[in-house]
Structure 1
């Protein structure tokens, strides 16, 4: 029995970041790539949807119902994009916090485990 690792059938899959560098890399990817690309995709939808709303809007006092429906759907889309970006930022922060907490826990555990034991005196050369 080994106490320093999980059995082969337990634990995270290959996509789980275990090391500090992996966690920081994942947080950096969220910050530098995924969050900005999500915002950019949301803006692209803003431009395209605005064109649709304008095309179906009232020109002579009678607009299409489609215009209002697309406008409402776009509002919901915008809220969903904002929610997704917020969750991505939360995930990034959690990865960074988790790394700090786990590193601190490792150091604290090492310190507590390595405290001087009464048995240490038996192995000293003076006895």
Structure 2
């Protein structure tokens, strides 16, 4: 326990800066992304993944329809119909997921900026240092 009067000074000395912990690959850990990166990822979903997925689904639908007609009256046609229906459900689910991820990326980007601005404003308005 320190002894001494009210005149005793308290000092802190920094002897150095500890090295940053390494993440995978030897660099510092990187768990953050910028709003620009989130918007770029959303743009990739919108401009590449969604259109290419839709195009692939339509191509498969056309080929399956042709095969279905070729096997009309056979059990194979019924099997192809089942496969096509399952495929369509999966494509709709994937397209919905892509749209949700795109919207979440764009929403998160704005949310983080608004949250940071709001916290900053709140800290500034509550700070006792403002009047010094």
1:35 alignment partner in structure 2: 50
- 2:115 corresponds to which of 70, 89, 105: 105
1:44 alignment partner in structure 2: 59
Please give the root-mean-square deviation of Cα atoms over the aligned residues, in Å.
Answer: 2.0
Following the alignment from structure 1 to structure 2, what is the Cα–Cα distance between the partners of residues 110 and 117?
11
Are 1:93 and 2:103 counterparts?
yes
3-state secondary structure, aligned to 2:36? helix
- 2:89 corresponds to which of 74, 79, 83: 79
Larger radius of gyration: 2
1:64 alignment partner in structure 2: 74
Q: CA offset at residue 8 of structure 1?
A: 4.3
2:7 alignment partner in structure 1: none
| TM-score, scaled to structure 1 | 0.76
Could you report, residue by residue, the CA deviation over 1:1-45 in whole angstroms, capped at 9, with x for unpaired residues? xxxxx9544653xxxx61010011111111111101101000000
Q: CA offset at residue 115 of structure 1?
A: 2.6
Q: CA offset at residue 50 of structure 1?
A: 0.7
2:128 alignment partner in structure 1: 118
Q: Is the 8 A contact 2:124 2:130 kept in 1?
A: no
- 2:39 corresponds to which of 24, 30, 50: 24
3-state secondary structure, aligned to 1:18? coil
Gaps of 5+ in 1: 1-5, 58-62, 123-127
Following the alignment from structure 1 to structure 2, what is the Cα–Cα distance between the partners of residues 101 and 120?
27
